C-alpha cells in the first residue's frame, strides 16, 4: 500500500526573531505599523516632543539624557515610547486628572490640548504595538509600574524594568525646571518605593 505524499509530515519550521532595540524606532515606524492618519501622527509626535523637552531640561546625567535625545538624523528617540507608558502610569494619573487644577507633566500636556483620554489611548497603542506589559511593584504604601519586554521582540532600556532606576528617572521628570506647576513628590505612589 502506497502512502499518499500529503501524509508525510513536513519538517518543523522554526522562526527566530532578532531582537530590535526600541531606541531605533521612529515615529514614522509606529505610524506605519498602526496605519495612522497624518493628524494622529502629529499628536503622537507632540506627546513625544513634550516628553523629550522635559527629559532634556531635567537634572539627569548626560548619559541618561542621551538615551532620549534625537538621532543623528533628527528623529525622536524610540526610547520615548516606553517613557510615554511609564509616564502615564506613574505620573499623569497623580497630577490632577479629574480635578480643576492640573499640575506637573499632565499640565504641560493639557496646555497643548492633550487630555488623559488621549494620553491613555497612546499609552495603550504603544504598549500593544511594542508588546510590552506592565508590572506593579507594591512596596509599603507605595507602588511603581515597571515594564516587561520578555514577550516582545522590541527590547527596552533596563531603566524601565528596574524600580530604582525608574524611580530616579520619574523623580527627575517631575522636578524638571521646565514644568510650570510641580506636583508635591509625596503625591506620587512611586515616591514611597525604595
Task: Tell me, yes or no, whether 10 lies in a domain.
Answer: no
Task: Tell me, yes or no, whether 99 lies in a domain.
Answer: yes
C-alpha cell belonging to residue 194: 525604595
Query: Which uninterrupted H or E stretch holds 135?
Result: strand 133-139
Give the pLDDT of residue 5.
Answer: 56
- Please answer whether residues 116 and 106 qualify as being in contact, where contact means their C-beta atoms are separated by less than 8 angstroms: yes
Domain holding 91, by residue range, is 20-192
Task: Tell me, yes or no, whether 6 lies in a domain.
Answer: no
Residue-by-residue pLDDT tens, the chain, 194 positions: 555 655 667 788 877 778 999 999 999 999 999 999 999 999 999 999 999 999 999 999 999 999 999 999 999 999 999 999 999 999 998 998 888 889 999 999 999 999 999 999 999 999 999 999 999 999 999 999 999 999 999 999 999 999 999 999 999 999 999 998 888 999 999 999 98
Task: Tell me, yes or no, whether 41 lies in a domain.
Answer: yes
Question: Cα–Cα distance between 116 and 7 in angstroms, integer?
Answer: 56
Task: Tell me, yes or no, whether 35 lies in a domain.
Answer: yes
Question: Cα–Cα distance between 123 and 145 in angstroms, integer?
Answer: 13
Give the pLDDT of residue 10.
Answer: 74
Q: Name the domain count of the chain.
A: 1
Task: Tell me, yes or no, whether 11 lies in a domain.
Answer: no
Task: Tell me, yes or no, whether 14 lies in a domain.
Answer: no
Nearest residue to 120 (alpha-carbon basis) of 165, 95, 144, 87: 87
Task: Tell me, yes or no, whether 1 lies in a domain.
Answer: no
Amino acid at each position: 500500500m502506497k502512502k499518499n505524499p500529503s501524509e508525510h509530515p513536513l519538517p518543523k519550521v522554526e522562526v527566530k526573531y532578532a531582537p530590535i532595540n526600541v531606541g531605533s524606532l521612529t515615529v514614522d515606524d509606529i505610524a506605519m505599523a498602526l496605519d495612522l492618519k497624518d493628524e494622529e501622527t502629529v499628536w503622537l509626535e507632540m506627546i513625544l516632543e513634550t516628553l523629550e523637552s522635559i527629559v532634556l531640561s531635567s537634572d539627569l546625567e548626560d548619559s541618561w539624557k542621551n538615551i532620549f535625545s534625537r538621532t543623528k538624523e533628527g528623529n525622536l528617540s524610540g526610547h520615548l515610547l516606553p517613557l510615554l507608558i511609564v509616564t502615564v502610569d506613574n505620573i499623569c494619573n497623580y497630577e490632577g486628572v479629574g480635578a480643576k487644577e492640573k499640575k506637573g507633566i499632565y499640565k504641560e500636556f493639557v496646555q497643548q490640548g492633550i487630555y488623559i483620554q488621549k494620553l491613555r489611548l497612546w499609552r495603550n497603542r504603544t504598549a500593544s504595538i511594542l508588546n510590552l506589559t506592565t508590572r506593579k511593584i507594591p512596596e509599603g504604601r507605595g507602588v511603581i509600574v515597571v515594564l516587561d519586554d520578555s514577550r516582545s521582540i522590541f527590547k527596552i532600556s533596563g531603566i524601565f524594568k528596574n524600580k530604582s532606576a525608574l524611580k530616579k528617572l520619574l523623580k527627575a521628570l517631575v522636578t524638571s525646571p521646565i514644568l510650570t506647576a510641580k506636583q508635591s513628590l509625596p503625591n506620587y505612589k512611586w515616591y514611597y518605593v525604595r
